[in-house]
Chain A
Amino acid sequence: IAGITQAPTSQILAAGRRMTLRCTQDMRHNAMYWYRQDLGLGLRLIHYSNTAGTTGKGEVPDGYSVSRANTDDFPLTLASAVPSQTSVYFCASRILGAVSNEKLFFGSGTQLSVL
C-alpha cells in the first residue's frame, strides 16, 4: 500500500538517550517534512528536505537532526533526548517541482515520551 510508514509507533525514552525516528515513503515524493504536535500548539515544523541530499531547518529544529541519503527515507534523530521533546511526531511528504502538488501526505505518527 502506497504511503508513509513511521516507526516506532510509540516509544518511552530515558532523558539523555539517543533516539532515531524512522520515516519511509514509497510515493517517490521529493519533499519530506518532520512535524511535532503538542496540545495547544498545533503542528510545528522541525526539519524538512526538498530533495535527496538536502535538508533545512524549520520552526523548532534545536535538539533534532535529519538526513536524506535517498528519496524514500528521512530519519529524525534526537541526539540527547530531553523531557520537552515529549510529543507526537509526524512525517509528511509531497511533490515539489514542475508538476507540483502542494498537499501533504502524513504518516500515522510516533508518540514519544521522554522521562
Chain B
Amino acid sequence: SQQGEEDPQALSIQEGENATMNCSYKTSINNLQWYRQNSGRGLVHLILIRSNEREKHSGRLRVTLDTSKKSSSLLITASRAADTASYFCATAPTGANSKLTFGKGITLSVRP
C-alpha cells in the first residue's frame, strides 16, 4: 500500500506561475524525497528533507516538512514549460536500510 499520497493528482498552470504539490504519509519517517519523471523516462531525484528539518531549498525548489501533520509540500517557483512532468513523493520509514515507498504521483502541466 502507498505510504505517501500526493495532492492534487493533476495540476495545470501558466508558465511563470508557482506550482505547489502536497504529500501526506502515514508512519514515522527518516526522510522524505521528491522525484521527477519525464514521460517515458526513469525517475530523477530532486530533493531530500530529513525528519528533523522543516524546510529546504534547491534552486527554484522549496520543500517543507511537517512531521506533526505527516505532510510535505513541494513548491516550484517561476515555473517553465520544461517543468512539465510527473512528480512523486517517496518516504523512507524509520529504521535501518528502510525501503522507499512512493506515492502515485502528480502530473504537472506548465503551459507556455
Residues of chain A touching chain B, judged by Cβ–Cβ distance below 8 Å, are 4, 31, 33, 35, 40-45, 48, 50, 58-59, 90, 92, 96, 102-109
| Chain B residue total in the interface (Cβ 8 A) | 24
Decide if A45 touches B99 in the complex (CB within 8 Å).
Answer: yes
Decide if B92 touches A106 in the complex (CB within 8 Å).
Answer: no
Interface of A is mostly: strand
B98 nearest CB neighbor, chain A only: A102
Decide if B41 touches A109 in the complex (CB within 8 Å).
Answer: yes
Decide if B105 touches A42 in the complex (CB within 8 Å).
Answer: yes
Interface of B is mostly: strand
Decide if A42 touches B88 in the complex (CB within 8 Å).
Answer: yes
A4 to B92, CA, bound (A): 22
A4 to B105, CA, bound (A): 22
Q: What 0/1 readout, one digit per residue, does chain B (17-43) give for beta carbons within 8 Å of chain A?
A: 000000000000011010100001111
A31 to B40, CA, bound (A): 24
Decide if A108 touches B42 in the complex (CB within 8 Å).
Answer: yes
Decide if A43 touches B33 in the complex (CB within 8 Å).
Answer: no
Decide if B97 touches A104 in the complex (CB within 8 Å).
Answer: no
Q: What 0/1 readout, one digit per residue, does chain B (84-112) give for beta carbons within 8 Å of chain A?
A: 00001010100001011111110000000
Decide if A58 touches B45 in the complex (CB within 8 Å).
Answer: no
Decide if A33 touches B41 in the complex (CB within 8 Å).
Answer: no
A92 to B50, CA, bound (A): 21
Decide if B104 touches A42 in the complex (CB within 8 Å).
Answer: yes
Decide if A42 touches B41 in the complex (CB within 8 Å).
Answer: no
Decide if B104 touches A40 in the complex (CB within 8 Å).
Answer: yes
A35 to B101, CA, bound (A): 10
B13 at the binding interface (Cβ < 8 Å): no
A45-B92 contact, Cβ under 8 Å, with A106-B43, A106-B44: no
A66 to chain B, nearest CB (A): 14
A107 nearest CB neighbor, chain B only: B42
A-chain residues with CB within 8 Å of residue B100 when the two chains form the complex: 45, 102, 104
B-chain residues with CB within 8 Å of residue A43 when the two chains form the complex: 43, 88, 102
A34 to B41, CA, bound (A): 15
A48 to B90, CA, bound (A): 16
B44 to chain A, nearest CB (A): 7
